[in-house]
């Protein structure tokens, strides 16, 4: 399959999924406001990307150990589809934020998405660093739990969360370290302290990019710890305006107008 056609196909699939999710959520929860419906629908798309990319990433790593043994030089044409699936998603997500006027409140996401898109396209074009890309993509395993956590909180806004939610919350924090901090820090260590057979410009780009991604991971970890009650913090009760660990993407005017408006009891 042509790689550009594959990206277009994924973009179309994600858009159809968002529209379908929005229609279903709006039909099921008629008392939800438009922002909450959109927030949940977006998370459905994000969850799909995280789940499918995690499955593909783990499959390639387990079936071909060379990606782990030699992450800086080994490459395989079949892995291109794993990277381009994520490229399509991040392009879609950035376009979606722009179309909905969320750009000003989403700067960290835009930088994160841009770095991933540029890096993955370069990996595909130059046919190298496929192992590094797959190890970096392990972050999506944790993202499965992050988006699950968000959707559960939206469903139970204002209500007592069931005890089973603790499984998701704890798994989310554990996976933050296993699939975000450990892989990214390991790759950074190898780039900075070990000699790698890659061009100095490419190496510099990777160090800058991975350093930002680790900053992003630390920001995410601190925010999740504060909201979910880890490391001495008290667990917070969350709603649509504070459920995103990196801050609400809703326009400031909309957040202000929503303050003081009581939620319908069915949505609490």
46-57 pLDDT, tens digit per residue, is 999 999 999 999
Exposure string of 50-63, with b = 16+ CB inside 10 Å and e = fewer, is bbbbbebbeebbee
Question: pLDDT tens across 206-249, in order?
Answer: 999 999 999 999 999 999 999 888 988 888 877 777 777 766 65
Verdict on whether the full-model pTM lies above 0.95: no
Cα distance between residue 46 and residue 244, in whole Å: 13
Please state, in angstroms and rounded to a whole number, the distance separating the CA atoms of residues 194 and 200: 13
What is the Cα–Cα distance from 253 to 231, expressed in whole angstroms?
Answer: 34
Q: What is the pLDDT at residue 21?
A: 97
pLDDT for 196 beyond 50: yes
Q: Residue 261 has what pLDDT?
A: 39
Q: How far is 232 from 98, CA to CA, in rounded Å?
A: 37
* Cα–Cα distance measured from residue 70 to residue 64, given in angstroms and rounded to the nearest whole number: 11
């Amino acid at each position: 399959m042509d790689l550009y056609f594959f990206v277009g196909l994924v973009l179309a699939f994600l858009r159809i999924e968002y529209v379908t999710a929005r229609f279903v959520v709006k039909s099921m929860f008629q008392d939800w406001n438009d922002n909450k419906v959109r927030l949940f629908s977006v998370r459905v798309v994000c969850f799909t990307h995280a789940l499918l990319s995690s499955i593909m990433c783990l499959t390639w790593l387990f079936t071909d150990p060379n990606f782990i043994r030699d992450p800086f030089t080994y490459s395989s044409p079949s892995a291109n589809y794993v990277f381009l699936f994520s490229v399509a998603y991040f392009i879609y997500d950035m376009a979606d934020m722009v179309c909905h006027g969320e750009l000003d409140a989403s700067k960290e996401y835009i930088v994160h998405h841009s770095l991933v898109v540029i890096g993955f396209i370069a990996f595909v074009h130059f046919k190298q660093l496929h192992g590094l890309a797959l190890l970096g993509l392990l972050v999506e395993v944790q993202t499965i739990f992050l988006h699950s956590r968000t959707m559960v909180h939206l469903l139970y806004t204002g209500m007592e969360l069931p005890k089973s939610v603790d499984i998701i919350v704890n798994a989310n924090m554990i996976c933050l370290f296993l699939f975000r901090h450990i892989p990214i820090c390991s790759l950074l260590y190898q780039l900075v302290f070990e000699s790698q057979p890659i061009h100095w410009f490419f190496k510099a780009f990777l160090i800058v990019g991975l350093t930002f991604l680790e900053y992003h991971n630390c920001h995410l970890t601190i925010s999740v710890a504060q909201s979910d009650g880890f490391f001495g913090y008290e667990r917070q009760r969350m709603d649509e305006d504070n459920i995103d660990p990196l801050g609400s993407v809703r326009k400031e005017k909309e957040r202000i107008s929503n303050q003081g408006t009581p939620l319908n009891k069915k949505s609490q």
